[in-house]
Structure 1
Amino acid sequence: MNLKINSRHVEVTPSMRTHLETGLAKIRKHFDHVLDASAFLIVDNAKEKDLRQTAEITIHLKGKELFAQAHNADLYHAMDAVVDKLERQVVKHKEKIQDHHHEKHFE
């Protein structure tokens, strides 16, 4: 999977990249049809400290695109939160794909 990281007002360090790759590896455990992912890390001057650090990730699947965004006072916690949100979305998408057994009730 290709991971492209963009940032605004923050320099992406190798540890940030490793942290994101580790989180996305959890998603690949559930569903390995991920084509590529793009992350956007933002540091703003929001008045509320909890909203200053933002992490956004878009995952491109075959025929589908999943997006999640999270805010936190710490950028690493924001990255963890966005990975957790995407993990739930991927599991739900996988269940929809694999649900081929529609029960029909005949009376």
Structure 2
Amino acid sequence: MNLKISGHHLDVTPALRDYVTSKLDRVLRHFDQVIETAVLLTVDNHREKEKRQKAEINLHLKGKDIFVETCDEDMYAAIDLLIDKLDRQVLRYKDKLQGYAHHAIKHQGDAMSPTLNEQPAV
């Protein structure tokens, strides 16, 4: 997996980089077919009273791209929200990819065979 962490109006410190990579491990635990990850951390200073911290991630999976963005007053809180949203989307994609509606052929034969309590029709 290629991981790119960049900052816009923000210096990406080693502590911030380690925090993002440790949180991304949670997503990789659920789905290991990640090709490339691009994380963008941004600080908007448009309003003088409050600074808005924004975190974006673009996750390139096998067969799909997932984009998530969140905003908060604290960068670490924005990263936590970002990973929560990303984890939900990755799990949803994984469930859709596995397709539980289509069971394996070896299990379809078990469903058709009579159980022990049922007597075959004579």
TM-score scaled by length of structure 2: 0.78
Gaps of 5+ in 2: 104-122
Gaps of 5+ in 1: none
> Match of 2:10, as an amino acid?
V
After TM superposition, the structure 1 = structure 2 runs for residues 1-107 of structure 1, keeping only pairs within 5 Å, are 1-47=1-47, 49=50, 52-102=52-102
In angstroms, what is the RMSD of aligned CA positions? 1.6
Aligned residues: 102
Where 1:69 maps in the other structure, the secondary structure is: strand
Name which structure has the greater RCO, CA cutoff 8 Å, separation 6+. 1
Percent pairwise identity: 43
Q: Which has the larger radius of gyration?
A: 2
TM-score scaled by length of structure 1: 0.88
Where 2:101 maps in the other structure, the secondary structure is: coil
Where 2:11 maps in the other structure, the secondary structure is: coil
Give per-residue Cα distances to partners, 1:14-53, cap 9 Å, x unaligned. Answer: 111111101110001110001110000000114373x610
Q: Distance in 1 between matches of 2:3 and 2:40?
A: 11
